[in-house]
Each structure stands twice: as structure tokens, then as C-alpha cells.
Structure 1
Amino acid sequence: MTIAPDISVKPDGAERRLILFAVAIIAAMTLLRIVYASAIELRTDEAYYWTWSKEGALSFLDHPPGIAWLIRFGTAIFGDTTLGVRFGGIVSMLVTQCLLADIVRRLTHDVRAVVFVVLMPEAALYYGLLMAKVAPDVAMIPFAVAMMWSLVRVVQSGDERWWLAAGLLAGLSMLSKFTAIMFAPAVAAFLLVPDWRWRWLRNPYPYLAVLVAIAVFSPVLVWNAQHDWASFRFQGVRATANYGISLRTIGDFIGLQFGLVGFVMLPVVLTGLVLTAWRGYRTREPVGILLSTAVLVPFAYFLFKSTTLRVGDTWPMFMWPVGFAAAAVNLATMAKEGWSARMLRSSLFWAKTAVVSGIAFVVIVFLYYVAAPWNLLGKIDPIGAEAGYEQVAARAQAALDETGATWIATTDYRTYAMMRWLFRGRVPVIEINERGRFQDFRDPGLDRIKGHAGIYVGREPDDRASLWENIPAKREPLGRVERRWRGVLADTYVIERLTGWTPELSPPKDSPLFQWRVLAGEFEKRVCATRVG
């Protein structure tokens, strides 16, 4: 893999038409994402991150603050609407595509490869549609790809100052999600394996880049130092949890990659990565080493972890855009390396098939969620399983009106987030347990809580959990409400009136009302129970 010697030559007529075609596809798919973002109610995690955007905390238990800032950017433009919350993801997708295009342009000077790399994300379900939802990965991806772009500029220009840009962008990536650290082996290999290693090991700029990254990441370090390193302990559960070897979790991981990246796209990308790694390490070529290692090492790690733990659907999604760049560059490089005409035709055929079939699949999924009236997946539908909270909120509002209660209590962060989102500040909402999640959060409205009755909204069987032994409130059952999506029951919630008690915002850290659930195991157990049921 080499840097294209001339990146200033203007495209000819055929190439311009190809570029215009790609722009039209991207515009149409962007409009599709805007419609999806506007039409589909927030999922529970999205609402949870939205609550963060309303706080002034330096960081949060689950993740760094980048996603909260991204949501704040969108809601500053469109208000507290589904589009406002998700707008940052739509912008992130476009920024990522521009960066991928420039990486491939600089490495190949091949318009077809550039068009291929900008259409690959459109053909992968996670990026082509689900970048319209918000998650820490969505905030991290453009910064991570920009870091790779900066390192390509190091190779292209030899200008050591690009290391500082890479450090800045690495820090911003870490400020969005901790898994950005998984690019560290790729950067280390990029620095140490090529013949230039002694030049950079004696140069201060790579070390300054590390200091810049740490400085940018420092809000998370400060917050954790103030809170017993809570985030690192929380995330450490995911890194160290071991529930025994399970073929089911391996199958879940592999199946998710095919589903979210593409049934044809995934093999195309992996093939391109393997060839890029072989080429890069054989010739000690820096960019080939960087791009391939950035994906293959995290992929191997997640594959290994999937033998004993259910890998979350979004966890590996930060790495695949770099894989798209490697696959596109590999296609252009194969043509220059003298591969047989048959092999080149086959590679081009599968690349085109991956894009066409992938975009078609994304459009079908979009139509299913936006326009179709059916639930074809039952309780395992990833959107349907978290839909229908409007029904719960309506019943809670009725209970507030009937009883004169002034606040809402929950016992899980998902219900808390959705109630807070759907009530939009009209009523104080508080999760009365797991208070460790809400360190440095503002007062939810204790003046409207203290001395007043409240309404408890809880998912069965949380209303019978042992934590109630530590709560002296008087509980009066008011009824139940079902949460359904397209006729399929997702969950049942109890509604109760609470009196004689005021929730404690900052209980002692050894209190069962402070401690958070073990995320790596608790929710997966519930999902499995739901599927079996």
C-alpha cells in the first residue's frame, strides 16, 4: 500500500458521473435516516443518554461525556425531539464518510475506490440506518476515523505535527467511549514495525501526542478520581466477566456482525483486511499495518470474549469503518499488483454485490420499522422490545391525576430514562436505587418530592425485589399496565402510590440503594429470560 503520488488531478467525465451517483445515494440515505430519527421513539439507552445531556457532570458511570455533548448539540438546534436527540448521529455519519473518502483518495487516487468506501457504510445496517440513533459509538466513530486520517497524513507528508492532531483526536475518541483504547495496538504497530521506527522513537512528537490525548481525556480522570474510579470498576466487569464457554454467545456475536455489517459485506471487509495485513506486515508498510491491525486485533478480542460473554451489539461497531477503508484500498491495490483478471472481476463483483444487497437490506429494515404494521420477530425484536413506553407513561399520568401525587419513582434506569423523557420535566422522576449512576446529577426537584405522595412505576418483578426492605415507604397498589408493540407484549409494569418517605439522592456507598447492577450479566439474564418466555 503506497501513498498516491498525485492527489490533485481532477476526475474525468465518467468519474464525475460516478461521484454524482454516489452523492445522490448518500443524500437519499441521509434523508432516510432523518425520517427514521424523527419517526421512531427513543430506545431506553438513547433516553438515558439524553438525561445526561441535561446534567453538568464531568463524566458518567457508564461512559465518558462525549455522547451527552453530541446530544446537546442536536437538541440545541431541534429541541428535545427525537430528531434533536439523534441529529448528532446523522452528522457523525456524514463526517465519517468524508474522512473515509479522503483517506482512500490519498492512498489510491482511484475514484472507484473512493465511491466504494463512502457507499460501504450505507450498505451496513448499523451505519446506513442505526447511526440515526445515539450511542457512545456514534460520538466516537468520527473522531477515531479522524485519528486514522491524521496518521495517514503523517505518512504522506512526513510532518511530525500531525502526531499532535492524532493525539487530540485520540483524546476526543476516548472522551466518547473507552473502547477507543483498543486502537492502541494498531498505533503501536504503526510506530514500531516499519523501518522508520527509530526516527519516531527519537522524536518528541509521538510522546507529546500521548500527553495531548491524556489532557483531552482528563475530565474523565478527574471525575473518576473524585468517585473512587467508578467508571473503570464498572467497565472492568465487562473486561473480566466470565460466565463459562457458550456456543450461544459465540453465535450471537458472529450473527450480529453479519446482521449489522452485512451478510456479503462482512466477508468482503474481512478478506480485504487479511490481504492488507499480509501486504503491510510483509513489506513493513505503515498504513497497511495501521488499518489492518486497528480492526483485526479488536475483532479477535471480541471473538475471544464471545466464548464466555454476550458481546453487546454496539461494542465492535467503532472498528468497522476503518475496515471499510482497508477493503476499498485493497481493491485498488490488487489491480496494481497484477492479480489475475478473473480474481479482479470476482473481487469487484462481490464488492458491488455487498453494496447493492446491503443498501437494499437497509431500506427494507427501514420500511419495516417505519411503515409496516406487523411484528415479525416477536419479543426478540430489538426495537419492539424497547417500544411502548408511551402506554406506561399515560397510565402513570392517570395515576398522578387520580391521587394527587407529585413525583415518579422507578427501580431501573431504563424505566427512569423513558419516564423522564416522556414527561420532559413536568414531573420529577427519580430512580430510587442504583444511585451510583447519578453522581453529580442536579437536584431532580426535591421541593416537589419531600412531603408529597409519589407514584412508583416498576417492571414486574422489580416490585418484589429485596431492596424494598430498605425503603420505609407505604405502598398502595393502583394497578398494572402492559407495554406492547404491534400487539406483542413486551413487559408488564406495576403502578403504586408511595407515601411517608422521601428518596435519598446520595445514600452511603455501601447502601443497596447506591450500588448499581452488574451490567455485563444482569440485563443479559433478563433478555434470555424474555426470549425463553
Structure 2
Amino acid sequence: MLFKNKITTLILLASIVRCIIAFSIGLGNDEVYYLSYAQHLQWNYFDHPPLVAILIRLTTLNLTFTNGFFVRLGSVILAAANTYLMFLIGKKIKDEKTGYITALLYTSSIYTSIISGVFIMPDAPQLFFWILSLYFLTHLITDEESQSKRNQNLLLFGLSVGLCVMSKIHGIFLWIGFGLYVLLYNRKLLLNTYLYLSVLLSLLIISPILFWNIENEFITYTFHSNRVTINQGINPNSFIRELFGGVAYNNPVNYYLLIITLIACWKNKINISINHTRLLLLMSLPLIEILLFVSLFRDTLPHWSGPGYTALLILSSCYLSDIKTNYLLNKSVYYANYLILIVSLIGILALNFYPGTLGNKTEAKLGKGDVTLDMYDWDFFKHEVAKIIQKNKSDGKSKTEFIINNKWFPAAHIDNYIAQPLHLNFLAIGKLEDIHTYHWLNQYRNSIKKGDDAYYITVSNNYSDPNEIYKYDFEKINPPIIIKQFRGGKSVRNMLVYLMEGYKN
């Protein structure tokens, strides 16, 4: 009862903090782009599978409430569920104390608690089904489980993996890890018909991804393979970013605990079933190590390996639960949570109140390189753009209600924060690799016709010149009206609004 009360308190407090963060800052460029997914549901998208879009539809009540809090609410709810699942896994493998330490480690990870626990990303549903899959596996390989229960858990594992892949393609590493476990340590499972039924269940669930890509010439895999194709030459910057990004995203305190846990595992000092130790290592290390290897040659992002660390957090909690004499190690899980709380507070304050920009200070590129601007007060621009459009209508200069942009970012912000609230038409017109899912979304919107005018909107921190992009598409491109934005009393970013006249079709 003691640990159940503690886990309830932990989940409640962590959820409150996550709600405060979700409410306090605007949507980032990836988040607002995934909100665009939800505008028209598909079986797959240019970048990712569809579950993030479905999650957004659910928490916004079918796009009725599209402010940042409701868009992110699914991530907050799933993070609470994940914390309890981690508790149950730790409890199953060892005891309730282990489960509670597992939940603390999960809560203190920036990746699991913030990136996937607050921000609306494909990682949010992916991580839920990843951890749920681990839950089924820990029951599956437990000796005291009956054969019928094991068969049931095999099928549930296949179902969960399928949904994990439908969140993000990285979910396939669950089958890779478990497949290695079967081949190396439990070959008798190869004689179990339910294993193959489980594989078929996963394939059936993810089949829409295949059908969508057949219809669209496998564009998803062409795109992602170009991001990770191994070329000649070492890329040390990418490797350093992947390695130290993993340290930062998982919390430096946690990362230290993971290292000493792996050393303890090497020395056979973790007091749990060898089957569980083997499983947890195989459900973590392949994904982490493969991405570290790929990062030697191509750019990767540290959060791609994030799910792999969850199994290592469980293993660490099993090691820490037996330590009674080392005061620092016993308290380290609490220090890790204090650290993430401080980082979150500093982040909210800096994003909303830091005077000026952390990026470029010149007018032409004002704010470039400042990642905080992705989430800073896009509502401000909505009112200013409305004034410009109304003035042009009043002056008889143009009555157009079209806004266009040439890249998915800042297109998604302009679409969701300006065009839709003002009931204007928005299109992303550019190369497929630049506009991404807007290539499909455009087909469900009003099309611009020959002779129409349109506004081109861009921002100084991500500036693109329409005189270069659309010089052959419009008869005339007028000089921009500049909207200046301030933070903490200092200029932080410029928005440039161009009126382009006479579309040539």
C-alpha cells in the first residue's frame, strides 16, 4: 500500500507539472506540423505513420479545441499511463520498491517525461506501445506463467508492436530485440504457433503503411533512407550530437546510473532472473548501438534512440533497489527529478521572458538559430496580419484571402496560428521535400487560380525570399510589410508579409 500511494502521488504531481508546461508555451514547429496531420486523416504520412494524428483528433475532440494544451493532452495522459506501466514492470521483475524506482527514473528522463510526455510527437504513442510491449514480454518469459497466459501475451505483444510501428517505424526494433532473444536464448518458442500468429498480427496492423507507400511510390522510405544512407567519410559532429544528446535527453544523472548498471550487469551483480536481464539488454542496446553507428556517417537525432533507454531504466532500478549503503546512489533518483524540474522551470521562463533573442541579432536574420522562437507567441502575428489584409481590402488593393508558403516550417505555424483562425485559405507551394504532407493536404483545400493574388508570409529566423521562389509564378511581388515582435522589451523576430499579384498558373 505504501508504494501504491507513492506511485499515485508521483503520477499526479508529474502530470500537474506537465500540464503547466503544456499550457505555458506554444506549439513547436514539429508539433504544429503534426496538428496539420490531423486535419485530414490518412493511413500514412510523408514523414510518419498515423497514430499521432489520431491521438490529436481524440484529445481535441475532433479538432474542436486546437490550443496547445488540448493538442498535447494525449502526451500527458500517456506519460501518466507509462509511469504506472513502468512501476508494474519493475514490480513484476523484482518487487514494488523496484517498480517505484523505475517510475522515478522514468519521470526524471527528459525524453520520456518532457519530449514524449508533454510535446505532441509520434514518440508519445510510440513510447506507450513500446512500454506496453515490454510489459507483455516480462510476463511472457516468467516461469510461473501458464502456457495459455504465455500464448495470450505473445498475441498481445504482436498487437502492441503493430500499434507501436503505426506510431513510428522505430517500433520494428521491438521484434528485432525479441527475435534475438528467441534465437539466442529460447529457441523452443520457434515451435510455438502463437509466435508466428503474433508476427502476422503485427504485419496485419502495419499493412496500411505498405499500401499507402505503394500508392505513393514508397516516398516515405525514399525520404528517410536519404536521411540515414551511409556515405563515405566520418561525421564526428553527428556522432557527438547523438552520444551527448543521449546523455542530455535521458538526464545526466540517469545516464551515469545506466553506465554503472551496465558495469554491474557485466559483473553479474544484478539480482534478477537471467532471462529478464537478457531481455532488457536486447530490447535496448540494438537500437542505441545501431543509431550510434549510423551517426558516424549521417545526421541522426538523439530522441530516435529514446525508447531503447526505457529497458535500461528498468534494469537500473533492479540494481539500485538492492543498494543500501551508498547514500548518493540511493538519493540519485530524487536528484534526477529535482534536476528535470529545475530545467523545466528555467525553460518556461527563458522562452516567455528572455529579453530579445538567443540567436542572430541582425535585422535580416533576426532570431535565426533561436529554437525558443518556435514556441513563442505566434498568436501575436494573427492580429497583425489581419490588420494588413483588412487594410488592403479597404484600400481596394487586393481582396485575396490566400496565404502561401514554400516549406513545412514555418508553413504549419502560419496555417494553424494565422490562416485557420482568420478563416483564410492556405496552401504550401514548393518542392515535395520542402512541403512534406502539405502535398496531400493541398488537394483538400481551395486551389489558387490564374489571376489570383496571394500573400506570402515568412519570418526572419527562417527567411525565404519569394522573389527567388515565385518570380515566374506571379506578375508582381510587392515589397514586404514588416511586423516586429518583441520579448522582454527587445526585438526578437520579424514577420514579412508580401502581397503577390496575378498568379500565372
**What is residue 358 of structure 1 aligned with on the other side?**
336
Distance 2:267 2:282 in 1: 11
**What is residue 437 of structure 1 aligned with on the other side?**
437
**Alpha-carbon distance, 1:398 to partner:** 2.7
Please point out which of 287, 290, 296 is paired with 1:301: 290
Please point out which of 121, 129, 139 is paired with 1:143: 129
Matches within 5 A, 1:110-125: 111-125=96-110
Distance 1:484 1:302 in 2: 40
Distance 1:46 1:154 in 2: 36
Instruction: Give CA-to-partner distance per residue, 1:120-165, whole Å, 9 cap, x none.
Output: 1221223333321111111100101111111112112242231111
| SS of equivalent residue, structure 1 residue 286 | helix
Matched to 1:53, the amino acid is: A
Distance 1:177 1:487 in 2: 41
**Alpha-carbon distance, 1:418 to partner:** 0.5
**Alpha-carbon distance, 1:79 to partner:** 1.5
**What is residue 80 of structure 1 aligned with on the other side?**
66
Matches within 5 A, 1:259-338: 259-273=248-262, 275-276=264-265, 279=268, 285-332=274-321, 335=322
Moved more, 392-401 or 356-365: 392-401
Instruction: Give CA-to-partner distance per residue, 1:485-524, whole Å, 9 cap, x none.
Output: 5567665443211222277xxxxxxxxxxxxxxxxxxxxx
Please point out which of 128, 145, 152 is paired with 1:161: 152
Instruction: Give CA-to-partner distance per residue, 1:189-225, whole Å, 9 cap, x none.
Output: 221111x31x211221111111110111111111111
**What is residue 455 of structure 2 aligned with on the other side?**
455
Instruction: Give CA-to-partner distance per residue, 1:425-450, whole Å, 9 cap, x none.
Output: 51111111134533543645426877
Moved more, 486-495 or 159-168: 486-495
**What is residue 93 of structure 1 aligned with on the other side?**
79
Instruction: Tell whether the 8 Å contact from 1:67 to 1:134 is kept in structure 2 after alignment.
Output: yes
Matches within 5 A, 1:120-269: 120-130=105-115, 131-156=117-142, 157=145, 158=147, 159-194=150-185, 196-197=186-187, 199-240=188-229, 242=231, 244-269=233-258
| SS of equivalent residue, structure 2 residue 26 | coil
Query: RMSD in angstroms over aligned alpha carbons?
Result: 2.9
Distance 2:357 2:232 in 1: 27
Instruction: Tell whether the 8 Å contact from 1:277 to 1:292 is kept in structure 2 after alignment.
Output: no
**Alpha-carbon distance, 1:363 to partner:** 1.7
**What is residue 506 of structure 1 aligned with on the other side?**
none
**Alpha-carbon distance, 1:239 to partner:** 2.1
| SS of equivalent residue, structure 1 residue 495 | strand
**Alpha-carbon distance, 1:229 to partner:** 0.5
Matched to 2:288, the amino acid is: F
Distance 1:502 1:469 in 2: 10
Answering whether residue 415 of structure 2 is matched by residue 420 of structure 1, we say yes
**What is residue 325 of structure 2 aligned with on the other side?**
345
Residue 447 to residue 221, structure 1, CA distance change in 2 (3 Å)? closer
Distance 1:490 1:251 in 2: 30
Moved more, 89-98 or 268-277: 268-277
**Alpha-carbon distance, 1:231 to partner:** 0.6
Distance 1:450 1:350 in 2: 69
Distance 2:458 2:234 in 1: 33
Unaligned regions of 5+ residues in structure 1, if any? 1-10, 336-342, 504-533
Distance 1:98 1:121 in 2: 10
Instruction: Tell whether the 8 Å contact from 2:29 to 2:409 is kept in structure 1 after alignment.
Output: yes
Matched to 2:78, the amino acid is: S
Matched to 1:498, the amino acid is: M
Distance 1:284 1:20 in 2: 27
**Alpha-carbon distance, 1:368 to partner:** 2.1
| SS of equivalent residue, structure 1 residue 500 | strand
Distance 1:351 1:244 in 2: 44
Distance 1:394 1:308 in 2: 45
Instruction: Give CA-to-partner distance per residue, 1:377-428, whole Å, 9 cap, x none.
Output: 8235543455343344444323322223201111111111111211335111
Give the TM-score, by structure 1 length. 0.81
Aligned length: 474
Distance 2:54 2:112 in 1: 20
Residue 447 to residue 377, structure 1, CA distance change in 2 (3 Å)? closer
| SS of equivalent residue, structure 1 residue 38 | helix
Matched to 1:456, the amino acid is: Y
Instruction: Tell whether the 8 Å contact from 2:27 to 2:374 is kept in structure 1 after alignment.
Output: no
**What is residue 378 of structure 1 aligned with on the other side?**
358
Moved more, 68-77 or 240-249: 240-249
Moved more, 227-236 or 320-329: 320-329
Unaligned regions of 5+ residues in structure 2, if any? 360-368, 393-398
| SS of equivalent residue, structure 2 residue 497 | strand
Matched to 1:476, the amino acid is: N
Moved more, 135-144 or 147-156: 147-156
Matches within 5 A, 1:486-505: 486=488, 492-501=494-503
Distance 1:88 1:479 in 2: 38
Instruction: Tell whether the 8 Å contact from 1:264 to 1:350 is kept in structure 2 after alignment.
Output: no
Distance 1:182 1:488 in 2: 47
Distance 2:119 2:493 in 1: 23
Moved more, 407-416 or 240-249: 240-249
**Alpha-carbon distance, 1:261 to partner:** 1.0
**Alpha-carbon distance, 1:33 to partner:** 0.6
Answering whether residue 94 of structure 2 is matched by residue 105 of structure 1, we say no
Instruction: Tell whether the 8 Å contact from 1:478 to 1:497 is kept in structure 2 after alignment.
Output: yes
Distance 1:442 1:376 in 2: 35
* Aligned sequence identity (%): 18
Instruction: Tell whether the 8 Å contact from 1:406 to 1:448 is kept in structure 2 after alignment.
Output: no
Distance 1:488 1:301 in 2: 44
Instruction: Tell whether the 8 Å contact from 1:145 to 1:321 is kept in structure 2 after alignment.
Output: yes
